Chains A and B, each alone.
Chain A
Amino acid sequence: MAEPVSIALLYPELLGTYGDGGNALVLAQRLLWRGVAAEVVDVRAGEPIPRGCQIYVMGGGEDAPQSLAARELRATPALLGAVDGGAAVLAVCAGLQVLGHRFAGDDGKVHEGLGLLDCETHRDDGPRRVGEVVVTADAALDLPDLTGYENHGGITTLGAAAHPLGRVVVGHGNGAGDGTEGIVKGRVVGTYLHGPVLARNPALADHLLSSVLGPLAPLDDPDVDALRKERLHAARHPHMHMPQLASGWRRLIRGH
């Protein structure tokens, strides 16, 4: 049997606040369902990043763990080397910020990023950007609309030549006022979408997989289709999808 496809989940204990570890599971399962052997390798802070993996996945996290993750990543050329060797990367939220040139912590300090993506992240005094997001993916990617949930204080500005993942239809995305969401450079994809993003957008999962493995057979998944339909509708028509509210009188009594 062929070597299993390896998916490295980087620093799940630091960058795992929003369930983004699920992205690695989604990638592995979608291969297993197609009869392709796959494994998820957890890489914890302090451990060396294995070079031979096909896909590297990073998630969102709080400020202190994010700075710690950035320090760990900058201490080794492993990830940059893997990308040069043809590996794909999915970096979500704090993960996206860490892969840029630099990012601001909540203490106002500027931290150096890995510089793998041409973007940088600063902060403003406004409220965090929180809520459902719908994104029309960049035409070159040929993907259906993306659905997800964002929750971030950072504003990410893309470099002049950088390509966004798509344009925001509902929500904030990068938050820089240009309507962009995420950033793509070759096989490296950064996004603010949680959900996890690949669970809600299997086409993006398959895009990452086929970028390193070649064309893949389609999969049938009615559970995901139903969820996508519900979420895309909920984001576009929020008033119809408020959680069932108790009547005004009962809400007053119960307090929510």
Chain B
Amino acid sequence: MTPGVNRQWVHARAGAPFCAKMPTVDLPLRTRVAALAGRAIADASRWVGAGEGSVIGGRVTLAIDERALELMAAGHQSVVITGTNGKTTTNRLLAAALAARGPVSTNAAGANLIPGLVSGLFRGRVGAAAALEVDESHLATVVAAVQPTSVVLLNLSRDQLDRYGEVRRHAADWRLALAASPATVVVANADDPLVTWAAGASATAGTVGRPRVTWVGTGQRWRADASACPNCGSRVRWDDRREERGGAHWACSGCALARPRPDAWLEGTDLVLADGRRLPVRLQLPGRVNVSNAAMAVAAAMVLGVDPSRAVRNMSRVRAVAGRYQVLNVDGARVRLLLAKNPAGWAEALDLIRPPPAPVVVGINAGVADGRDPSWLWDVPFERLHNRTVVATGERGRDLAVRLRYAGIPHTYVPEYRKAVGLAATGRTARQPEIDLMANYTSFQDARRALTVGKPAGLG
């Protein structure tokens, strides 16, 4: 595939922070028209209040020029982020970090299929670095088109099984995609065996003396989806007594797959680099999981030449990500919105809610984008919601109610979001009761819409 720009020239200047008026000048007329049209439609869509406009704008661009993604990405330094959990947040943190080197284009709204990526690129300035999140089932297509400078592999766990079948299949697809893109530097989570296996193809393909994988010890605790080795099917064993570089050692009992030695790792909330530098990660975003996301983003920013301490400093200014962690004023109560989409994400979210007796509203849908089968509710440790008011809501709130009943958690089912919040606030003596609302993907969107209708969103 021959991109419509002079790659040689672009690569010669790859180290330069920002080359104004560089690559799009060489874009074919068709691509330029496509980008302009897409942008106009997206702006119009936003102007009439129909949404972010990123999906329809990208679709318009692709309708005019189906190679738009490839052509618009060419010449940009870019990072592509994928994984089951943390894509949008990590992308936001990375975009903040990359701002240290110049303009950044990004699909910040979480639109992570091809049209969303395209509109992320046409929003950015000429020559900007690109931070792009992509759905885990589309990584291969995107890597082939974008030829990214770096790919970030966060984690892989089960999510939406009714749609995608099996977790290991994603890892296999990633592996092939990365093997076919040898110039890409992979930033990979060393504490996730599936990710390690997927990135491993790249590790062996690297030319001598030039590491192709930056391994990050994130200290990830979710192990339930990788007990059988993705390489040979034998058992993967964790050795919690052998802790090194930010995580417990793990190894397959049947083949050579094992935890790689991390190049960067977390000790508490400090990010430690192999050269001995120690960077405190102080985020406004809550939770241990976001410190892990930040560690991955710092490693990716470093691939693009950003100084890690500047990266960390920039990340500390991020307060909310596409509505996640946002605090809304709802009829006098302060409601914090938390998104969790699958068992691994829920375990993390339950770690970061306020302690009891702070009330909690939990919203569950099973739309196409959520996965139609909510059986995973039984893998979420809802038992931790003891000693507080718990309100179940959402289109599948009845499934949640049964799960809570068997968890021994008293609860009430209230299908409407505003009423659910109202019930959770009842009986709280504080002048402004604080409520955590946790929801899965489409329930989160429904809740945000229902709770912001008719009033400006008060950021907290």
Which B residues lie within 8 Å of A26 (CB)? 406
Shortest C-beta distance, B117 to chain A (Å), equals 12
User: Could you tell me how many residues of chain A have their Cβ less than 8 Å away from some Cβ of chain B?
Assistant: 46
* B442 located at the interface, meaning its Cβ lies under 8 Å from any Cβ of chain A in the complex: yes
| Residue in B50, B55, B234 whose CB lies within 8 Å of A68 | B234
How many Å from the CB of A114 to the closest CB on chain B?
18
Residue numbers in B under 8 Å from A14 (CB-CB): 227-228
Q: Which residues of A contact B167 (CB under 8 A)?
A: 62
Tell me which residues across on chain A come within 8 A of B233, comparing CB atoms. 64-65, 67-68
Identify which of residues 218-268 in chain B touch chain A, using a CB-to-CB cut-off of 8 Å.
223-225, 227-230, 233-235
B235 touches A18 (CB 8 A): no
- Given the known interface contacts A45-B235, A151-B161, A243-B442, the answer about A253 and B402 at a Cβ–Cβ threshold of 8 Å is no
Task: Please determine whether B375 and A18 come into contact, CB atoms closer than 8 angstroms.
Answer: yes
> Number of contact residues on B: which range applies?
35 or more
Identify A223's interface contact among B168, B377, B398, CB under 8 A.
B398
Query: What chain B residues lie within 8 Å of A149 (beta carbons)?
Result: 162, 372-373, 375
Of A19, A25, A151, A256, which is in contact with the most chain B CB atoms at under 10 Å from its CB? A19
* Chain B residues numbered 182-232 whose CB sits less than 8 Å from any CB in chain A: 223-225, 227-230
Report chain A residues within 8 Å CB of B442: 243
Which residues of chain A are within 8 angstroms of B235 by Cβ–Cβ distance? Answer: 45-46, 68
Instruction: Report which of B158, B375, B398, B403 forms a contact with A194, defined as CB distance below 8 A.
Output: B375
Contact A131 B401 (CB under 8 A): no
Minimum CB–CB distance from B193 to chain A (whole Å) comes to 12
A18-54: which have CB < 8 Å to B? 18-22, 25-26, 29, 45-46
- Inter-chain CA distance A239–B68, complex, in Å, is 37
Residues of A within 8 A of B228 (CB): 14, 62, 64-65, 68
Q: Which of B51, B395, B406, B408 contacts A199 (CB 8 A)?
A: B406
Among the listed A46, A62, A199, A255, which residue makes an inter-chain contact with B378, where contact means beta carbons less than 8 Å apart?
A199
B165 within 8 A of A: yes
Q: CB distance A253 to B53 under 8 Å?
A: yes
Interface presence of B45 (CB below 8 A)? yes
Q: Does B365 contact A (CB under 8 A)?
A: yes
What are 27 A-B pairs with beta-carbon distances under 8 A? A13-B223, A13-B227, A14-B228, A19-B378, A19-B379, A20-B378, A22-B379, A29-B408, A45-B227, A45-B235, A62-B228, A63-B168, A64-B168, A64-B230, A64-B233, A68-B234, A130-B373, A149-B375, A223-B401, A227-B399, A227-B401, A243-B367, A244-B446, A250-B51, A252-B59, A256-B367, A256-B368
Binding site for A on B (CB under 8 A): 45, 50-51, 53, 55-56, 59, 111, 113, 115-116, 158, 161-162, 165-168, 223-225, 227-230, 233-235, 365-369, 372-373, 375-379, 395, 398-399, 401-403, 405-406, 408, 413, 442, 446
CB distance from A28 to the nearest CB of B (A): 9
Q: Is A141 an interface residue (CB 8 A)?
A: no
B55, B59, B115: most-surrounded residue (chain A CB, <10 A): B55
- The docked-state distance in angstroms from the alpha carbon of A170 to that of B406 is 27
Is the pair A19, B376 in contact by a Cβ cutoff of 8 Å? yes
- Cβ of A16 within 8 Å of any chain B Cβ, yes or no, is yes
Interface string of A235-250 (1 = CB under 8 A from B): 0000000011000011
Instruction: Determine if A226 is an interface residue (Cβ-Cβ < 8 Å).
Output: yes
Contacts known (A45-B227, A64-B233, A226-B398); A17 close to B161, Cβ less than 8 A: yes
| Contact present for A243 and B368 (CB under 8 Å) | yes
Is A195 an interface residue, CB under 8 A from the partner? yes
Residue from A25, A195, A223 with most neighbouring chain B CB atoms (10 Å): A223
Query: Using Cβ atoms and an 8 Å threshold, which residues of chain B touch A20?
Result: 375, 378
Chain B nearest CB, measured from A195 CB (Å): 6
- Distance between Cα atoms of A153 and B169 in the complex (Å): 14
Instruction: List the B side residues contacting A195 at CB < 8 Å.
Output: 375
Chain A to chain B: the 9 pairs with minimum beta-carbon distance, closest first: A22-B378, A19-B378, A19-B375, A243-B367, A13-B227, A255-B55, A64-B233, A65-B228, A227-B398
